[in-house]
Amino acid sequence: MHLKKLLGLALALVLSGAILLIGCSDTIEIVSQPNDSFASGSEALSWFPLAEGYQTVYNVKEADGDNKTISFIAGKSVEFQSGTAIEWLSNDPVSGSDTGYFQYTNDAVYYYDSKSSTGEKIIQLPLTLGNSWNRTETISDDLLTNFDDVITGSKDTVIVIPLSKNLPIIGEVTMTVEEATALQLEEIDNSYSSAVRISVPSSSTKTNYYWFVQGVGLVKYVIGATDSYTNGEIVAELVNYGIAQ
Average pLDDT, integer, range 186-212: 90
Mean per-residue pLDDT over the chain, rounded:
77
Give the pLDDT confidence score for residue 170 in this predicted structure: 82
Q: Is residue 2 part of a domain?
A: no
User: For residue 8, which amino acid is it?
Assistant: G
Under 8 Å between Cβ of 66 and 236: no
Give the pLDDT confidence score for residue 12 in this predicted structure: 33
CATH number for the domain harbouring residue 183: 2.40.360
Q: Is residue 202 part of a domain?
A: yes
Give the pLDDT confidence score for residue 7 in this predicted structure: 30
SS3 36: helix
Q: Is residue 206 part of a domain?
A: yes
- N-to-C CA span, the chain: 10
Return the number of other C-beta atoms located less than 10 Å from residue 138's C-beta: 8
Could you give the number of structural domains in the chain? 1
- 56-65, 74-83, 148-157, range with greatest mean pLDDT: 74-83
Give the pLDDT confidence score for residue 25 in this predicted structure: 28
pLDDT per residue as tens digits for the range 24-62: 223 344 444 445 555 555 799 999 999 999 999 999 998
Q: Is residue 4 part of a domain?
A: no
Expressed as residue numbers, the domain containing 21 is 9-243
The H or E element spanning position 130 is: none
With 60 as the cut, is the pLDDT of residue 15 above it? no
